[in-house]
Each structure stands twice: as structure tokens, then as C-alpha cells.
Amino acid sequence: MTTSGDKLLPERAPGGDGVCYALAAIFGAGAGWIDIKVGDLLLTAMVVLASCMLLGFMSPRKPWRWVLLIGVFIPVVEWLAYFLLSQKPDRAQVYESFLAFVPGIAGAVGGAVGRGVVENLFPKK
């Protein structure tokens, strides 16, 4: 018995997601650096949104993992900057860095859904 959701997500590629994990680490560290240097939460949120959307589109299975990987790097980079660099973020800036998870969720799920829409509109022949 088949259901309509059988082909909702594409088949898994045999190569794995190593490139996506590396990109998630790079994007997360970059978003943390932007949050420290610029200090603007909106710009950081847009970087997180765009990077999670790209990774959700590239690998749509389990999009929550991209939110976790990118979102965790922002407080970690701020913690490292506090202890290793001369730039000390405020306590409020550290706490508001956890808000980057919210646009990350929207981006990752939106990218995964967008990948499903593109593959349903333009199926491989």
C-alpha cells in the first residue's frame, strides 16, 4: 500500500552529507563572527536564515540538524571571543545570540520544503 507522502522527500544520495556538515560549521562560525564584530542581531538572524535555507535545500532530510549546528556556533564563538580576544560581548548579546535558532528553524524547514516543491515540479526523467 502506498501513500501520497512516499515521494515527498528525495532519495538519499550515496555520498553522504560531509560537505553540508562542513558548510554548517563554516556558516555558524561566520554568523558568530558577524554577531561579535557588527553586534546587530538582525544581520546575524538573516545570515542564519540564509545559511539554514541553503543547507535545508541541499540536504532536506532532518533539517533540524542544520539549525542546531549553525545555532550552536554563535554562542560558542562569543564565548571564545570573550575568553581569547580583547572584545568582550555584553551579557545581553550573549543571551540574544540564542535567538538565532528561531530564524534558523524557518530557514531550514523552508529550504527542505522548497527542495520538495522543486523536485515535484521538475521531476527527473
Amino acid 16: pLDDT:
77
Q: Kindly write down the DSSP assignment for every residue of 47-105, as one continuous string.
A: HHHHHHHHHHHH--SSTHHHHHHHHHHHHHHHHHHHHHSS----HHHHHHGGGGHHHHH
Q: Is 43 part of a structural domain of the chain?
A: yes
C-beta atoms surrounding 31 within 10 Å = 28
Summarize pLDDT for 43-86 with one digit per residue, the tens.
999 999 999 999 999 999 999 999 999 999 999 998 888 888 87
Q: Is 5 part of a structural domain of the chain?
A: no
Summarize pLDDT for 19-46 with one digit per residue, the tens.
999 999 999 999 999 998 898 889 999 9
Q: Is 74 part of a structural domain of the chain?
A: yes
Q: Is 32 part of a structural domain of the chain?
A: yes
- The residue range of the domain holding 59 is 18-115
Q: Is 25 part of a structural domain of the chain?
A: yes
Q: Is 2 part of a structural domain of the chain?
A: no
